[in-house]
């Protein structure tokens, strides 16, 4: 899995590419917890290039949401592929996380408005 990040004002966007599973969840967890420890308060996770998520990946998102909440921050998700959205729905995570269909909607919830998303 590849993890990249971009900054939009005070919003940090984390882009995931590949598979978030038992083998890659620890890398994602370490990255998110480091970002939160560095004081990031607004994180949008872009799932547009993510092909698979396991329960290990879901656990990392819950952990990050809890840590951000404790720090007064917020995490949101955007651009989930239908199969991944189904996993979130079945696991009950769609009720826990703010999930947006488009990158622009995800940014807007944090008050960030920029040019249309073109991340490859």
Give the model confidence (pLDDT) of 23-58 as tens digits.
999 999 999 999 999 999 999 999 999 999 999 999
Give me the residues of the chain with pLDDT under 50, please: 117, 120
pTM: 0.91
Radius of gyration of the chain (CA): 13
The domains found in the chain, sorted by start residue, are 2-109 (3.30.750.24)
95: which DSSP letter?
Answer: G
Pull the structure tokens for residue 2: 């590849």
Return mean pLDDT, the chain.
92
Residue 120 has a pLDDT of: 46
The residues, ordered by sequence, that sit 6+ positions from 27 with a Cβ below 8 Å of its Cβ are: 1, 3
Which residues contact residue 8 at a Cβ distance below 8 angstroms, ignoring those fewer than 6 apart?
107, 112, 114
Contact 39, 30 (CB under 8 A): no
Q: For residue 56, what are its two tokens?
A: 């290990």
Rounded to the nearest 10 degrees, what angle do helices 25-37 and 55-70 cross at?
10
């Amino acid at each position: 899995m590849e993890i990249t990040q971009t900054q939009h004002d005070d919003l940090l966007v984390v882009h995931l590419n590949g598979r978030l599973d038992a083998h890659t969840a620890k890398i994602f967890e370490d990255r998110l917890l480091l970002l939160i420890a560095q004081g990031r308060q607004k994180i949008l996770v872009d799932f547009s290039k993510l092909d698979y998520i396991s329960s290990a990946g879901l656990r990392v998102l819950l952990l990050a949401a809890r840590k951000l909440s404790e720090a007064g921050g917020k995490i949101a998700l955007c651009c989930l592929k239908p199969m991944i959205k189904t996993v979130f729905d079945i696991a009950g995570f769609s009720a826990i996380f703010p999930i947006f269909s488009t990158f622009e909607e995800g940014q807007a919830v944090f008050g960030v408005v920029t040019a249309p998303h073109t991340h490859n």
